Chain A
């Protein structure tokens, strides 16, 4: 997805502590451990993903993000990462607050619902978009919130969250530089680096 996390890696300090919320198969933590010698932990609830983490030697903790993160102390991690999970949480804004409490910095990625393909689906067919990246039917999707990067930035403003960096990823549009010129139309994924 975000090509082995090229730019996420740039934001990660060597030998730092990283918490990955919704770590999936653990590949991000594995890469960060190999390239940046981080000490990482992933939170995950999907049994198959947890197995994959254990199989590759990634520290994985079976814990549901929707049940809170009170067990993690303030500023106990250098970086808290959450990739493509924000849209699937019951209360994304509360989890964001918790991430900023636990991490000195946070990295969040999410699908940009303003992408031209999702807009085209909705406008032309009149039905909720089912695209390659958002491939679920409306009634059976883990993605329960749909928002654009502009919505996200409005939330950051409202909650006094500092946007340190942002990046957009737009597939073929990236080659033309369109995703950064007109991100809400051409970026399918938004990547933010946040702090308090």
Chain B
């Protein structure tokens, strides 16, 4: 059914693998994806009863490289939190992080060849929803012969996947760690995503999304989209602390100020350009729409309590005080629903000035909270091991 395409150990701690599934994945939009491939990394060892596996769900721009240093010398996007002795301890857990479909780091997405046409999917790649990522992750879980995750863990869009798992596959996870997430996007969130998409679509090189066929690249549009997005992931306070009104080039005292470049301008341009080199514009459009479509409670008469009533796992919910994309209020709505639905839940509201990005960054309290929570999970698993 599924066969490994390659298996290599780039670094001691990383096992990078790809798997191709030749059975169809029925997408929420009605389209049947006849085959698909997932690239994923694993860290740590699966125990003999296959009970110590943790699924890491990446967010909008994430990939399978969550931890360790890869063959190109690049650190994983959550390296601070995953590794030996770290909060998600690879000495105790078998950690799995796939790149999800629709993204652009090796798993099936707009850059892949559409078997029906022999050309790149491009903008024709079917619309995706969070449920599609989760169902694809179920394929991976079966491939790895894991019946139940010890925990499904994710921040932002990753947290939405973790919640979706808890509601739709209650038997398949023991714990959900939901970080800086929300039950659904606000109008403001959707608006930021729409501005980002418009920026990409306005680039003359976008060519209605078929830029690969035209051998062009909407890099400026994608860079602009990312600059907007990146800015919303930071807090005013942290920006002021890091950049203030510092000038990188030119002189604010000069009569002619054309040459003045602020540090923040340089930083944002750099971040935008760097991102545009590594990410795909169609994936960005696809995944921001996926965020917009996400609404965990819609199918449960908009009742958050009813939504979680079938969940069986235990929850850790985490928010960050200066996150204004998915503010503590969003996490508190999740927490209140879980309490109302009589589920085990702990909630941490971490004081941080790092905005939404805080979920990726070092923070003593955040690390300690996740670590204490997952160590208990590991203690239980190890006590039950034959």
The chain A residues found within 8 Å of chain B, CB to CB, are: 17, 39, 41, 47, 50-51, 53-55, 57-63, 71-73, 76
* Given A50-B348, A54-B376, A60-B346, 14 extra CB contacts under 8 A: A17-B342, A39-B344, A41-B339, A50-B369, A51-B369, A54-B316, A54-B346, A54-B373, A59-B344, A59-B346, A61-B345, A61-B347, A63-B347, A72-B339
Residues 316-351 of chain B, each 1 if its beta carbon lies under 8 Å from chain A, else 0: 100000000000000010011001101011111100
Q: Is the CB of A59 within 8 A of B369?
A: no
Of B340, B346, B372, which one neighbours A76 at CB under 8 angstroms?
Answer: B340
Say what secondary structure dominates the interface of chain A.
Answer: mixed
Q: Can you name 27 A-B residue pairings with CB atoms under 8 Å?
A: A17-B342, A39-B344, A41-B345, A47-B365, A50-B348, A51-B368, A51-B372, A53-B346, A54-B316, A54-B369, A54-B376, A55-B376, A57-B376, A59-B346, A61-B345, A61-B346, A61-B347, A62-B347, A62-B349, A63-B347, A63-B349, A71-B332, A71-B336, A72-B336, A72-B339, A73-B340, A76-B340
Docked CA distance A61–B369 (Å):
12
Min distance, Cβ B18 to any Cβ of chain A, angstroms: 37
A/B pair count, beta carbons within 8 Å: 44
Of A54, A63, A72, which one neighbours B372 at CB under 8 angstroms?
Answer: A54
Say what secondary structure dominates the interface of chain B.
Answer: helix
* Count of chain B residues near A, Cβ 8 A: 19
Q: Which residue of A lies closest to B319 (CB)?
A: A62
Name the A residues within 8 Å of B340 (CB-CB).
73, 76
Min distance, Cβ B250 to any Cβ of chain A, angstroms: 45
Name the B residues within 8 Å of A63 (CB-CB).
332, 347, 349
Q: Is the CB of A62 within 8 A of B348?
A: yes
Docked CA distance A47–B373 (Å):
14
Name the A residues within 8 Å of B368 (CB-CB).
51
Min distance, Cβ B253 to any Cβ of chain A, angstroms: 46
Q: Is the CB of B345 within 8 A of A39?
A: no
Min distance, Cβ B106 to any Cβ of chain A, angstroms: 36
Docked CA distance A61–B336 (Å):
10
Q: Is the CB of B339 within 8 A of A61?
A: yes
Q: Is the CB of A61 within 8 A of B373?
A: no
Docked CA distance A170–B368 (Å):
39
Of B342, B346, B373, which one neighbours A39 at CB under 8 angstroms?
Answer: B342
Name the A residues within 8 Å of B332 (CB-CB).
63, 71
Min distance, Cβ A176 to any Cβ of chain B, angstroms: 43
Q: Which residue of B lies closest to A52 (CB)?
A: B372
Min distance, Cβ B166 to any Cβ of chain A, angstroms: 16
Q: Which residue of B lies closest to A39 (CB)?
A: B342
Min distance, Cβ A152 to any Cβ of chain B, angstroms: 28
* Residues of chain B in range 265-308 having any CB-CB distance to chain A below 8 Å: none
* Residues of chain B in range 96-123 having any CB-CB distance to chain A below 8 Å: none
Q: Which residue of B lies closest to A47 (CB)?
A: B365
Min distance, Cβ A183 to any Cβ of chain B, angstroms: 36
Docked CA distance A54–B365 (Å):
12
Name the B residues within 8 Å of A76 (CB-CB).
340
Min distance, Cβ A101 to any Cβ of chain B, angstroms: 15
Name the B residues within 8 Å of A72 (CB-CB).
336, 339
